[in-house]
């Protein structure tokens, strides 16, 4: 059972996400263990760590779709999963959720009609759909069937769907997987623009360490635990490393040594 803390004040400076003692069990395994971290508002926080360390589970917990979550997890001033959060959060999973037999524009129009129904909103929907398609650089493919797009393009349609409602918090699970370097750079430019001009908070997972350098803050994970919650600069300087990747490896080595020391005293 989630241990709901009293609602924190809903102010601009309050963390967008605040976790304390966050623990998640999947099957018979505890895949997240006593996590404590915050995600500041209006910034890009990167969630990095090796495959299987728990990034998707953490994201699912934040958006409220994960079962067996205990501890405290507040999102935009409400307990994670609170019904009022649905329209305030955009979530893109690793599996693109688009209809292959609809065009890019029709996919967007369909989801826009769910978010903002009624004839009176038709003009507003048209503008939002056009903006979202342009945001993800798919204007030239707007009339193409989603089923005929590449994997990376389909991922971008999913991202466009998430942008439709102008969400305050965007949770993106490995959004740049399978994209070429130019598209990856363009998407990161878009993420920065969303934070800077629309005030959005972005929580973005990746296992590509060079993407860490593009984030304002980082949560580094290993085996269901947070190794570090810091800025890229602070991480590099406190580990004496040139890159975030080297800093991460330094912290992993430290954690492994600490684990071994604990085991040898048992």
Ligand X SMILES: Nc1ncnc2c1ncn2[C@@H]1O[C@H](COP(=O)(O)OP(=O)(O)OP(=O)(O)O)[C@@H](O)[C@H]1O
Interface contacts to ligand X, rule CB under 6 A: 26-27, 29, 31, 51-57, 207
Q: How large is the greatest C-alpha to C-alpha distance in the chain, in angstroms?
A: 69
CB of 154 to ligand X, least distance (A): 18
CB of 45 to ligand X, least distance (A): 15
Smaller CB separation from ligand X, 26 or 216: 26
Smaller CB separation from ligand X, 41 or 224: 224
Through-space distance between the first and last CA atoms of the chain, rounded to whole angstroms: 31
What are the DSSP E strand ranges found in 144-266?
169-173, 201-206, 217-222, 225-230
Residue of minimal CB distance from ligand X? 27
Smaller CB separation from ligand X, 107 or 205: 205
Backbone angles phi, psi at 26, to 5 degrees: -125, 125
CB of 13 to ligand X, least distance (A): 30
Smaller CB separation from ligand X, 95 or 258: 95
Smaller CB separation from ligand X, 114 or 256: 256
As to burial, measured by CB atoms within 10 angstroms (0-12 exposed, 13-18 middle, 19+ buried), residue 177 is: middle
Q: Tokens representing 48?
A: 């990095």
Q: Tokens representing 115?
A: 């978010």
Side-chain-facing half-sphere of 62: CA atoms under 13 Å: 35
Calculate helix-pair angle for 244-264, 232-239, nearest 10 degrees: 60
CB of 137 to ligand X, least distance (A): 25
Number of helices (H), then strands (E), in the chain: 7, 10
CB of 173 to ligand X, least distance (A): 7
User: Cβ neighbours of residue 158 under 8 Å, at least 6 residues apart?
Assistant: 92, 93, 96, 97, 98
Q: Tokens representing 31?
A: 């895949």
Smaller CB separation from ligand X, 33 or 88: 33
Radius of gyration of the chain (CA): 19
CB of 63 to ligand X, least distance (A): 13
CB of 259 to ligand X, least distance (A): 17
Q: Is 138 helix (H, G, I), strand (E, B) or coil?
A: coil
Smaller CB separation from ligand X, 56 or 107: 56
């Amino acid at each position: 059972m989630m241990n709901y803390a009293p609602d924190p004040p809903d102010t601009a400076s309050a963390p967008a996400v605040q976790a304390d003692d966050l623990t998640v069990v999947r099957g018979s395994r505890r895949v997240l263990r006593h996590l404590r971290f915050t995600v500041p508002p209006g910034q890009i926080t990167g969630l990095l760590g090796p495959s299987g360390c728990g990034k998707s589970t953490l994201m699912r917990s934040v958006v409220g779709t994960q079962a067996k979550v205990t501890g405290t997890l507040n999102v935009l001033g409400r307990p994670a999963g609170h019904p009022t959060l649905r329209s305030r959060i955009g979530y893109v999973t690793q599996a693109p959720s688009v209809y292959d037999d609809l065009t890019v524009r029709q996919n967007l129009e369909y989801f826009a009609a769910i978010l903002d129904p009624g004839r009176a909103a038709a003009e507003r929907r048209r503008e939002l759909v056009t903006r979202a398609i342009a945001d993800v650089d798919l204007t030239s493919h707007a009339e193409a069937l989603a089923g005929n797009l590449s994997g990376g393009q389909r991922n971008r349609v999913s991202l466009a769907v998430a942008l439709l409602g102008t969400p305050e918090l965007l949770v993106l699970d490995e959004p740049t997987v399978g994209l070429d370097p130019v598209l990856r750079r363009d998407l990161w430019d878009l993420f920065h623009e969303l934070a800077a001009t629309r005030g959005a908070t972005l929580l973005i997972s990746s296992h590509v360490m060079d993407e860490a350098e593009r984030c304002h803050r980082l949560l580094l994970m290993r085996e269901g635990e947070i190794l570090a919650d810091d800025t890229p600069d602070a991480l590099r300087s406190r580990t004496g490393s040139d890159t975030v990747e080297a800093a991460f490896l330094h912290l992993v080595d430290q954690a492994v040594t600490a684990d071994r020391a604990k085991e040898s005293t048992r």
